[in-house]
A and B are shown apart, each in its own frame.
Chain A
Amino acid sequence: MNAKKSDKLATIILFSIAGFVILILAALLGYILIQGIPHLSWHFLTSPAESFTAGGGIGIQLFNSFYLLVITMIISFPIALGAGIYLNEYANQKSKIIEVIRTMIEILSSLPSVVVGLFGFLLFVVQFKFGFSLLSGAIALTFFNLPLLTRSVEESLRTIPDLQREAGAALGLSRWETVGHIILPAALPSIVTGIVLSAGRVFGEAAALIYTAGQSAPVVNFNDWNPFDSTSPLNVMRPAETLAVHIWKINSEGIMPDAAAVSAGASAVLIIAVLLFNFAARSLSKLLYRRLTSSK
């Protein structure tokens, strides 16, 4: 076979591989949406789940997922922001210690999420006696989220040209003021993108939550917004099964007659949420970029 022929053959093979992959991916997305969307209804999205009978919804799980996401972000964003700022603005990049720290962050990001979840179970659920609760779950998710978020903050800061730091210094600002008033606003669009993308991942995480936020979703009273009442949806000490955990649970031990339908519907909701997070990340960063830089 000469070079021309093998070139043609390789092109054909590469085309078919790519075509096959597109096919798999399209089938995957299509399957989830086609299976799931017919089950979506206002009733399904808002009513509580049933354990033994058909017709249950995912209302509480859906709320739990979003609420848990919010708490996780409230805990993890300030930490990640601080760590990212230190790594990019203050740290001596050549120092051995910083190198070790970077390695450790990398290790944290590569830990299996089930191990992170078990650690959360051991420390918060058992040792600190938080029990299966939103708080335990949010802290476990924070561990899972921190390395990703820190890296995205750091990378956002790194893309800001040094010229802006020099300008800040020339104006007589301290480094901290430069960071706060010049660098952070400039990096905000890409930081926001990072947050929303990591939110998508946190939203679908289940393994870290099974033993921290728990696998039960007690009925909550949506008229009671006092966070200290035990049936209030805002109470952070109540067990809170999320959507992803719910899908896992009904598929591994569900006994309601319409388990397949419920998990199809819930999967579709998850996928749609991930899609929305992706779109939101893109449009938000565009919007912020326009707002903050007054460019068109």
Chain B
Amino acid sequence: MDEIKDALTKTSAATKKDRFGRAISMAALALILIVVISIFWFVASKGLATFFTNHVNLGDFLFGSKWAPGQLDAHGKPLAGAASMIVGSFLVTLLSAIIATPFAIGTAVFMTEISPKRGAKILQPVTELLVGIPSVVYGFIGLTIVVPTMRNLFGGSGFGILAGAMVLFVMILPTVTSMTVDTLKAVPRHYRESALALGATRWQMIYKVILRSATPGILTAIVFGMARAFGEALAVQMVVGNAALMPHNLTSPAATLTSVLTQGIGNTVMGSLENNALWSLALILLLMSLVFNLVIRAIGKKGAM
């Protein structure tokens, strides 16, 4: 009797296995969470040290345009004004998104509405492949093609915001295009049929029905591309010129948050003000990627009505 009782009341081997599996898979998930939290914790603690340990004024940091964290200004305060890089980052991102958007939407519409066959045969694999091209390759191309072209067209060194935006434009184009294609494909077929049945031309159908109903998805794609452009480091760093000056035109050397970071962090001493100031730039990057994430979420919620 006891054996049967045992078998009935004790946890079975299968249950034990299941618990084991649950615990292991949960531990893996927990590990990812720990990683995310610790990234935020470490970057924030380093980035905030500029303000709490070195007593840099947050306003001076965000709006000051003199970037020389090792030196002091007339009032004995460190010259840690990041405005030129912040402006540089936003300019590069916005410009590249503005250039990429019409091309991405046009190509996506072409692939889904005008010529789905050719789209599936030529454009689909090519965009998929281009999404995977490493950013340093884009940087190399920017350096050998875009920068000399800019130099010939506008004079100067050729390095600058415009060169950065051109490189990023090509870089985010495949990403934005393939995401837009996905949204357009998700527009139900009967929308198209009803529009055409009402006597709309193909363009009217595309413009008034398909693009309208796909707007949230397209916006998400654009913001996603912008997030990628904002955080991109090496390709931009190779062509932007890396002069931490307030950009006064689009073809003069400038700097972005990422370009200053990649260049500077190896040349400063851990814990020094210069180093902490760079970590503050990393913190800005981190917060901006959070903002992009929130924007994408907000768009998704609105679109889900």
Q: Which residues of A are at the interface with B, using a C-beta cutoff of 8 A?
A: 3-4, 6-7, 9-11, 13-15, 17-18, 20-22, 24-26, 28-29, 31-32, 35, 78-83, 85-87, 89-90, 101, 103-108, 110-116, 118-119, 121-123, 126, 143, 146-147, 150, 172-177, 179-180, 197, 200-201, 203-207, 210-211, 244-245, 247-248, 251-252, 260, 263-264, 267, 270-271, 274-275, 277-278
**Is B114 close to A, CB under 8 A?**
yes
Among candidates A81, A123, A270, residue contacting B134 with C-beta atoms closer than 8 Å = A270
On whether the beta carbons of B203 and A10 are closer than 8 Å, the reply is: yes
B249–chain A nearest beta-carbon distance, Å: 23
Q: Is B109 an interface residue (CB 8 A)?
A: yes
Highest count of chain A CB atoms <10 Å: which of B31, B136, B174, B290: B136
Main secondary structure of the interface of B (DSSP, over half): helix
Query: Which of A3, A18, A105, A270 has the most CB atoms of chain B within a 10 A radius of its CB?
Result: A18
Tell whether, in the assembled complex, residue B15 and residue A174 are in contact, meaning their CB atoms are under 8 Å apart.
yes
Closest to A176 in B: B21
Please pick, from A17, A83, A115, the residue contacting B29 in the complex, using a CB distance under 8 A.
A83
Q: Given known contacts A204-B136, A207-B233, what 13 new A-B pairs fall within 8 Å (CB)?
A: A4-B201, A6-B201, A21-B177, A82-B25, A89-B25, A107-B290, A112-B232, A115-B39, A118-B261, A176-B20, A203-B134, A204-B134, A248-B139
Shortest C-beta distance, B97 to chain A (Å), equals 16
Contact of A18 among B32, B111, B144 (CB under 8 A): B111
* The stretch of B57-65, B125-133, B214-222 that contacts the partner chain: B125-133
Residues facing A in B89-139 (CB within 8 A) are 102-103, 106-107, 109-111, 114-115, 119, 122-123, 126-130, 132-137, 139
How far apart are the CA atoms of A179 and B115 in the complex, in Å? 42
Q: Which residue from A35, A146, A205, A274 sits with its C-beta under 8 Å from B129?
A: A274
CB-CB contacts below 8 Å: B243-275 with A: 258, 261-262, 265-266, 270
A contacts with B: majority SS: helix
CB distance A122 to B140 under 8 Å? no
Contacts of B20 in A (CB 8 A): 176
Q: Are B42 and A206 in contact (CB under 8 A)?
A: no
Q: Are B128 and A107 in contact (CB under 8 A)?
A: no
B106 and A18 contact, CB distance less than 8 A: yes
Select the stretch in B1-9, B71-79, B184-192, B281-289 that faces chain A.
B281-289
Contacting residues, chain B, for A210 (C-beta < 8 A) = 262, 266
CB <8 Å contact, B123 and A112: no
Judge if B175 is at the interface, Cβ distance under 8 Å.
Answer: no
How close is A86's CB to chain B, nearest CB, in angstroms?
4
Cβ-neighbour of B292 out of A25, A110, A174 (below 8 A): A110
Per-residue interface assignment for chain B, residues 16 to 58, with 1 indicating a CB less than 8 Å from any chain A CB and 0 otherwise: 0110111011111101110111110011001000000000000
Would A206 and B134 count as touching, CB distance under 8 A? yes
Contacts of B38 in A (CB 8 A): 119, 123
Residues of B within 8 A of A14 (CB): 106, 109-110, 114
Contact B22 A24 (CB under 8 A): no
With A28-B141, A270-B137 given, is the CB distance from A114 to B258 under 8 Å?
yes
- Docked Cα-Cα span, A30 to B132, in Å, equals 16
Contact with B32, one of A10, A20, A83 (Cβ below 8 angstroms): A83
Inter-chain contact A205/B109, CB cutoff 8 Å: no
| Residue of B27, B119, B130, B265 touching A82 (CB-CB under 8 A) | B27
Q: For A121, list chain B residues within 8 Å (CB).
A: 265
Complex A-B: 5 CB contacts under 8 Å:
A21-B103, A79-B28, A86-B26, A201-B132, A206-B234
> Taking the nearest CB of chain A, how far is it from the CB of B170, in angstroms?
6
